Amino acid sequence: MSSYIELKNFSQSFQVNGSKVTLFNDLDLSITQGQSYAITGPSGAGKSSLLMLMSGLEHPTSGQGVYVKGGHKQSLEFLRPDIGFIFQQFHLLPELTALNNVALPLKLRGDKHAEDKARVWLEKVGLIHRINHKPSELSGGEQQRVAIARALVFEPGFIFADEPTGNLDQQSATEIADILFSCCQENNAGLVVVTHSETLASRAQHIFSLAGGQLKQTANEMLKAVSC
């Protein structure tokens, strides 16, 4: 039985200079392990906030979120050990080599084989020859490959990626997308990508647009036709 995340009647708002700003109201969404999802929409629509909410890293103003694993329903807080995050800015530790950046999540969990597993993943993302290089010695595309390996090294059930190709040139963006989708498919991980890129979004099995506080599903075939 596949694990899944379910959001019901999610709303998110905050105060700015005494005024209430609402990102979205009564939003419903289900994310299933092994499936890929893209969330598009204009800047400021709340896409990144939604990503943080569905991962259980932040709490909504109102609504209910559940994480179902092995038939057991739990709050989204129990999802945290089962997720990997990939960011636009990479967020690698500058003082660590590629190998140690990837191994770090496993070391924090007490895994004695952390570096061996990190080597396997760096080979999967095509960086085995750069394992001893620090982030400052890597290109943007190489840094994002390290970030992908770090997110997947402990085999999480879900990967959340916030504009993972936003800082990359077209060729690097395509290579990163290839690696990201293939690695998640290989690991049967659910993948949720927030992106402005219609090309990247079109690779997902399920595409949503967040705008004006509403989340609407987009026909994949239609978006692919536009992006070609």
Task: Kindly state whether residue 75 falls inside one of the protein's structural domains.
Answer: no
**Spatial distance between the Cα atoms of 139 and 153, rounded to a whole number of angstroms:** 21
Task: Kindly state whether residue 27 falls inside one of the protein's structural domains.
Answer: no
Residue with tokens 């708002």: 13
**Spatial distance between the Cα atoms of 59 and 62, rounded to a whole number of angstroms:** 8
How many domains, in total, are found in the chain?
1
Task: Kindly state whether residue 138 falls inside one of the protein's structural domains.
Answer: yes
Task: Kindly state whether residue 98 falls inside one of the protein's structural domains.
Answer: yes
pLDDT over threshold 60, residue 220: no
Q: pTM score, two decimals?
A: 0.89
Provide the CATH number for the domain around residue 95: 3.40.50.300
Task: Kindly state whether residue 2 falls inside one of the protein's structural domains.
Answer: no
pLDDT over threshold 90, residue 88: no
Contact 46, 107 (CB under 8 A): no
Contact 29, 54 (CB under 8 A): yes
Section 57-77 average pLDDT: 92
Average pLDDT of the chain is 91
SS3 content of the chain, % helix, strand, coil (to 5): 35, 30, 30
Task: Kindly state whether residue 30 falls inside one of the protein's structural domains.
Answer: no
Give the structural domain span for 44.
38-51+82-227
pLDDT in tens, 144-194: 999 999 999 999 999 999 999 988 889 999 999 999 999 999 999 999 999
Task: Kindly state whether residue 130 falls inside one of the protein's structural domains.
Answer: yes
H or E element, residue 214: strand 214-218
**Spatial distance between the Cα atoms of 11 and 48, rounded to a whole number of angstroms:** 14
Contact 140, 167 (CB under 8 A): yes
Task: Kindly state whether residue 157 falls inside one of the protein's structural domains.
Answer: yes
